[in-house]
Structures are given as structure tokens and as C-alpha cells.
Amino acid sequence: MTIYTGDILITELDDGQFDIKFANGQLLMTNGLETMSLLAVFGEDWWGNGIVRTESEKMKSEVPGIIRRNVVSDKTKNDVTKAIEKTQKFMIRDKIAKSVKVTGEIFSAFGIQWLIEIASLDDDKLRYFLNWDRGSLTASIIA
């Protein structure tokens, strides 16, 4: 029997889709915050909500719903920024991370980009971009 620790590693494919990987028939795992953060942001109606023990453990992101407005504006940028911050609050509450910072920028008439920076308790840093361009939302982990 294999005992897994950490989270299943979710990676982004070249076409912007996400996938899990296997090595020798075993799931690749991460002890970082990448998967946890991405599931929280994209977890509008995540299947894991059905198995958690308390309401505070459920991931209920507003990000996908706001993005479906399909309007590039300061309001959308600010609403998503607040929604992302809200999805990441549990990391600080549960003492998983020291800080979370989210900044948004309209980069074209068709797109907005958000930078999410998370500092873990042991000073590791996770930085990634959420890019919303022409109705498509992708994430790019940079560190």
C-alpha cells in the first residue's frame, strides 16, 4: 500500500488545460501550495466539497462566475482580485502560509492578468499568473 503525502501535482499543458501526471504508475505529488491554491481559485463547485468535514473547509470560488461576465473592465479586475484573495484566506487562517498578495492588471481590450504571490511558513514563495484573455482562463506558475 502506498501512502501519499502532500497534494496531487496539477500541471498546465501547452494548450492551457490542466492534468495530473504519473511516474511508474504512481501519482506525482507536491508538498508545495500550487495545487491547493489552484483548486481554491477554480473550485467553484469542486467535488471535494462533498467529502470535507466542516463548512470552513469547502472551496467556493466566485472567480469562474465573475469571469463568465465576459467583460474586461476595472470592475471585473477588482472583483476577481477580491474573489481570489477570499479563496486564499484559508491558508493564513489555517497557518499554511504567512501572506497572500493579489494584484490585477488589464493588459489589453480582451484580457486581464492577476499575479498571486504566496509566502509559505518556511519562506518558500509561490508566484503565479492567472491570465484571462478572450474568454479563456489559464494559470502559469513562475516560481
CB-based contacts of 78: which residues, under 8 Å, 6+ apart? 104
Number of residues that make up the chain: 143
Q: Which residue has the higher pLDDT, 141 or 73?
A: 73
Alpha-carbon distance of 129 to 115, in angstroms, equals 5
Q: Residue type at 134?
A: R
pTM: 0.75
Fold of 7-141: Nuclear Transport Factor 2; Chain: A, (3.10.450)
For residue range 12-43, list pLDDT tens digits in order.
Answer: 677 766 677 777 877 776 666 777 788 788 87
Mean per-residue pLDDT for 72-81? 96
Q: Which amino acid is at 58?
A: K
